[in-house]
């Protein structure tokens, strides 16, 4: 069968693929230390589950309006106003089946052949593939680990062409854990206004911040910036609700209406029960998030300290999200019993096969020097996993 060319341009999500491999090994009784999953290990808060149960009992099990129920869209509008001072009408807010789906609707509504989307490197795996799926070209903006992966607005400007549609920002960032400071956001906003760019701001990790930091959405820098920003967010990470599949987008009306039309012809509404649950998460979930993030903070310190104590490894302290992204270039070129470890993918394979440690290699995030470890897993797994990593690295010659 001859498939559409776009299907051949992409691979399955490598993060989901590694998580599935680790889970399958665990199901076979293998004791895996799993650092692959980009999802909180916490259970969804009880009041959120209760709202879902009540929705089922009340028969709230039918189609809803395709763009989401009014109650949830209003909760999103209220949240964005209370936390960032942003003002949206209902038609500017679209609820989808996870932030990944929000991003996909956006890519479909925005991009076509010849268009370019600027993506700072390292980046979350799906940005580039969703761009390719919509016949457009990802343009990668390198950043430097030594500078905390900051975006240099001059370097960014050099990449802008008449075909550039947008730049995607992800603060806090998956995989680096880096956040953008206000000055950087102001420079980017100024550039977007001057060069007529759309800003896509993926804020899914906004509540997973450490050391008392507070999130600033670039859209909050002024009405003219909000008018050219699409905010992407969801309940997956902040409220431990990855399986419920609720994400949302808020932004310019014409774009959001186009995205809503695409959704109404493709998936229809996101799950009715999950929408009811998400209302409670958004309205009452922040105490839960604080407790969870305090625990992530404890784990963050342990994992980063352990990684930095390993010869050949250096790891920055992430300021947000729940990923350690150690630089392992000091280990590349060494020998294992099964051959040379030339790349992060070789290293990840060596760790999984020889030591039952699941990590995601850097390549699908745009790095040939790093691996990603999620510390949204128990302290016991972290300690056990770091002992194994230590042993694995010491065996390389
Ligand atoms: N953006 C980033 C940066 C992510 O890490 C994720 C997690 N998969 C998503 C978007 C999508 O999250 P979800 O679809 O679960 O809302
Ligand atoms: N965001 C998570 C991760 O990066 C989930 C996996 C995915 O959606 O690709 O691991």
Contact 171, 179 (CB under 8 A): yes
Q: Are 126 and 208 members of one domain?
A: yes
Contact 326, 145 (CB under 8 A): no
54 assigned to some structural domain: no
Residue 120 structural domain: 60-283
Closest residue by Cα to residue 393 from 326, 296, 317: 326
Report pLDDT for 366: 97
The DSSP call for residue 209 is: B
Atom from ligand 1 closest to the CA of residue 99: 16
pLDDT tens by residue, 297-347: 999 999 999 999 999 999 999 999 999 999 999 999 999 998 999 999 999
Bridge-based pairing of strands 357-358 and 33-34 is parallel
Q: Are 359 and 324 members of one domain?
A: yes
pLDDT tens by residue, 125-151: 999 999 999 999 999 999 999 999 999
Which domain-ending residue is among 283, 308, 325?
Answer: 283
Q: Are 230 and 253 members of one domain?
A: yes
* CATH number, domain containing residue 26: 3.90.1150.10
d(CA 336, CA 296) in angstroms, rounded, equals: 33
Q: Are 177 and 109 members of one domain?
A: yes
Determine if ligand 2 sits within 6 Å of the CB of residue 13: yes
d(CA 247, CA 99) in angstroms, rounded, equals: 4
Q: Are 315 and 201 members of one domain?
A: no
Nearest residue (CA) to ligand 2, atom 8: 16
Ligand nearest the Cα of residue 104 is 1
Q: Are 122 and 198 members of one domain?
A: yes
49 assigned to some structural domain: no
Alpha helices in the chain (DSSP H): 14-27, 46-57, 70-84, 99-110, 125-133, 153-159, 182-195, 223-226, 253-266, 272-284, 286-308, 344-355, 379-394
Q: Tell whether pTM > 0.85.
A: yes
Domain count, the chain: 2
Determine if ligand 2 sits within 6 Å of the CB of residue 100: yes
Cβ-based neighbours of 26, under 8 Å, separated by 6 or more: 32, 34
Residue 168's φ and ψ, nearest 5 degrees, are -105, 130
Nearest residue (CA) to ligand 2, atom 10: 38
Ligand nearest the Cα of residue 204 is 1
């Amino acid at each position: 069968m001859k498939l559409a060319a776009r299907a051949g341009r992409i691979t399955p999500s490598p993060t989901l693929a590694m998580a599935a491999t680790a889970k399958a090994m665990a199901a076979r009784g293998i004791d895996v230390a799993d650092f692959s999953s980009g999802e909180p290990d916490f259970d969804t808060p009880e009041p959120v589950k209760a709202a879902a149960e009540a929705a089922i009992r009340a028969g709230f099990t039918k189609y809803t309006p395709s763009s989401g129920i009014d109650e949830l869209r209003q909760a999103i509008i209220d949240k964005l106003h209370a936390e960032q001072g942003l003002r949206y009408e209902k038609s500017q807010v679209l609820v989808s089946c996870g932030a990944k789906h929000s991003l996909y609707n956006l890519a479909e509504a925005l991009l076509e052949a010849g268009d370019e989307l600027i993506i700072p490197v390292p980046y979350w795996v799906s940005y580039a593939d969703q761009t390719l799926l919509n016949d457009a070209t990802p343009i990668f903006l390198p950043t430097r680990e030594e500078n905390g992966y900051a975006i240099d607005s001059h370097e960014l400007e050099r990449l802008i062409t008449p075909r550039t549609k947008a730049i995607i920002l992800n603060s806090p960032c998956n995989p680096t854990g880096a956040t953008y400071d206000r000055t950087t956001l102001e420079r980017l906003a100024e550039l977007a206004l001057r060069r007529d760019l759309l800003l896509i701001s993926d804020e899914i990790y906004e509540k997973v911040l450490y050391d008392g930091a507070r999130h600033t959405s670039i859209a909050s820098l002024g009405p003219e910036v909000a008018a050219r920003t699409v905010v992407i967010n969801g309940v997956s990470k902040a409220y431990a609700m990855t399986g419920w599949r609720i994400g949302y987008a808020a932004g310019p009306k014409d774009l959001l209406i186009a995205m809503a039309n695409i959704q109404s012809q493709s998936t229809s509404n996101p799950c009715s029960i999950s929408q009811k649950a998400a209302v409670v998460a958004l309205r009452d979930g922040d105490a839960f998030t604080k407790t969870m993030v305090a625990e992530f903070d404890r784990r963050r310190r342990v994992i980063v300290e352990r990684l930095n104590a390993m010869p050949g490894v250096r790891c920055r302290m992430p300021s947000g999200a729940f990923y350690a992204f150690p630089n392992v270039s000091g280990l590349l070129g060494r020998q294992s019993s099964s051959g040379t470890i030339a790349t992060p993918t070789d290293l990840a394979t060596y760790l999984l096969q020889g030591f039952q440690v699941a990590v995601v290699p850097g390549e699908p995030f745009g790095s040939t020097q790093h691996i990603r470890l999620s510390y949204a897993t128990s302290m016991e797994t972290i300690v056990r996993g770091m002992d194994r990593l230590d042993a694995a690295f010491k065996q390389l010659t």
